[in-house]
Structure 1
Amino acid sequence: MNPEHLFKLLSDPTRLRCALLLHRELSLCVCELTEALELSQPKISRHLAMLREGGLVQDERRGQWVHYRLHPSLPGWVVEVLDSARRSDWGELTVNADGRRLAAMTIRPSIERCGA
């Protein structure tokens, strides 16, 4: 991955929010991202597909659920960029608000329920 490619992937606020929340939470299901970002499932899925095709995230099917995480072989500089973005004023406000909505979910897919 090169910087131009990464910044194109993260240029959309929805993709950036997904990446930052995945960076914070390590692994999330599409339904969790939908709830946290308050966006429709098709929109979240479309953006996650772009992040996956771009090599930033990896998906894993667990029963009926698809979980996403940052790709484990990302170069260190990519993780540093995400760390810096998350620590920015915008990142703190946005990721914390998304995280509060995520934490308020009453039913979240667990590993046991996901068939893993």
Structure 2
Amino acid sequence: IPWVIITFIIILIGIVFILLKNFNSPEAQTKILVNAIDNNDAQKVATLISTKDVPVDDEEASVYIQYIKDEVGMMKFIHDVKHTTDKLNKSNHDSAYIQTKTDKNVLKISKNGTRFLIFNNMSYRPP
């Protein structure tokens, strides 16, 4: 009977880890941002790029979304954000930028502590 309990606890810990990873890993955070921009969800984008010092409202987020789509292109943006987040997550660097076709910075991705002591917390800010 003790082996059954230990096995059950190990399975539960595995399930909890998988759930945490699916919602809190840098890849999951990136997917949330990309989906919000791709679906023109200005409210979600405003929430993701706002800070205490620099709040972003829905109108500003809508303009920002359109700027990204026009100046970067959605396919390039998706590739660049995923690639940059992956590189940043595996390196010692604290931040990196996504750029337009004319090399203007359009999004700053930076490490912002950790989530649940396991996953890097990424922050996304307009430059």
Q: Note whether the superposition's TM-score is higher than 0.5.
A: no
Which TM-score applies when normalising by structure 1? 0.29
* TM-score between both structures, scaled by the size of structure 2: 0.27
The structure where strand makes up a greater share of residues is: 2
